Amino acid sequence: MKPIIPFLSAFLLLAGGCKQDSGRKNAAPAPQTAEEYTQVIIKEVQKVILSTDQQLREYEPRHLEMPAKEEGEPRTLRLWAEAGNPVKLTATEPGGNGFIAFYFANGELFYAARPDAGFIFIGQELKYWLDEGWQPAQAPEEERREQERLLLKQARAYLTLFEE
């Protein structure tokens, strides 16, 4: 598998701060406002997700089928890993409600996506809640914390299933 983790690690460095490289001609100006900074982060995450998905097309993921619960449909999990570290994990949602995808860098969740929303994590914190068009969505702090807790818990639970 081509190394994906170094590319993903570059995202984490970007998340730590955007600084203009004054030594380069034609360098894009550094973000000046919180909105500009947010857009830079979102665009970088989009690039990482696109690149990761393109690279992973060449590889077969590990599959797990979770049995259906009470007349529900089984859930299918797929995990792509590199050197024992998760890179991407997908899970179908019961009732035909789509899927959820988790993206990892150095074993740490940095992006989760559902058909109706995206979630950018920096460290263990949900920093950006996005709508289906990749635009920042406003959510009450309590709801953001609850979503953060649920997504981290769900990602850990699914990863644990692959360890058994």
Q: How many residues does the chain have?
A: 164
Alpha-carbon dihedral 116, 5, 16, 39, rounded to 10 degrees? -40
Give dist(CA 84, CA 22) in Å, integer. Answer: 39
Looking at residue 97, its pLDDT comes to 67
Looking at residue 25, its pLDDT comes to 57
Structural domain range at position 21: 5-163
Strand (E) or helix (H) holding 126 = strand 125-131
Q: How many structural domains is the chain composed of?
A: 1
One digit per residue, pLDDT tens: the chain, 164 residues? 555 544 444 444 444 444 444 455 566 677 788 888 899 999 999 999 999 999 999 999 999 998 877 666 788 999 999 988 999 999 997 666 689 999 999 989 999 999 999 999 999 999 999 999 999 999 999 999 999 999 999 999 999 999 86
Please give the model's pTM, rounded to 2 decimal places. 0.80
Residue 66's beta-bridge partner residues?
A: 75
